[in-house]
Amino acid sequence: MKKINEIFYSLQGEGFHVGTPAVFVRFAGCNLKCDFCDTQHEQGRMMSDEEILEEVEKYPCRMVILTGGEPGLWVDNNLVAVLHAAGKYVCIETNGTRVLPEAIDWVTCSPKQGTQLCVQKVDEIKVVYQGQEVEPYLQIPASVYFLQPCSCMNTSEVVDYIKAHPVWRLSLQVHKLIAIP
């Protein structure tokens, strides 16, 4: 059983897969308490992997994004296998502090300053930028590195940083900019 905050269908609003239709499975709870967190994720109901799949299959897309809170507290090999058996492309958005099942198709790691990373495979690094040192995150092997303004508040600062450090790419929270859930 896994504690699920909500399951909904929308477009991915940030990062590499921006604009892609996806079913979001938001897990409840997080092991970190970030002051900029914009997600209410503590509440939830316990669901089996089969109940999660039943909800996911109500929507016509292939991409499933496991998010939170911190999905690494709940996601296991069985859930990933159940989703794969249904033909789903499984993505996860994690803070990287928990070991994840190896079979996840796409790992977005949003590391937080001062935390120890435990993830073995990362496809995308996405750092919420608040003026902190971000160059150490380039030591984490990934396909792409994104800086994201904090709740769209410091966009010009992020743009200037990326222009001076072009290994980074800009990730905007498009879902907030155009008001989609």
Could you list the active site residues? 24, 30, 34, 37-39, 93, 175
DSSP state of 35: T
Rounded to an integer, what distance in angstroms lies between the CA atom of residue 181 and that of residue 3?
A: 21
Question: Could you tell me the end-to-end alpha-carbon distance of the chain, in angstroms, rounded to an integer?
Answer: 26
Q: Which helix (H) or strand (E) holds 90?
A: strand 89-94
DSSP state of 111: -
Q: Is 148 helix (H, G, I), strand (E, B) or coil?
A: strand
Q: Tell the residue number behind the tokens 């769209």, with chain if given.
A: 152
CB contact at 8 A, 119 and 107: yes
* Pairing mode of beta strands 21-27, 144-149: unpaired
CA 30, 156, 67: angle at the middle one, nearest 5? 20
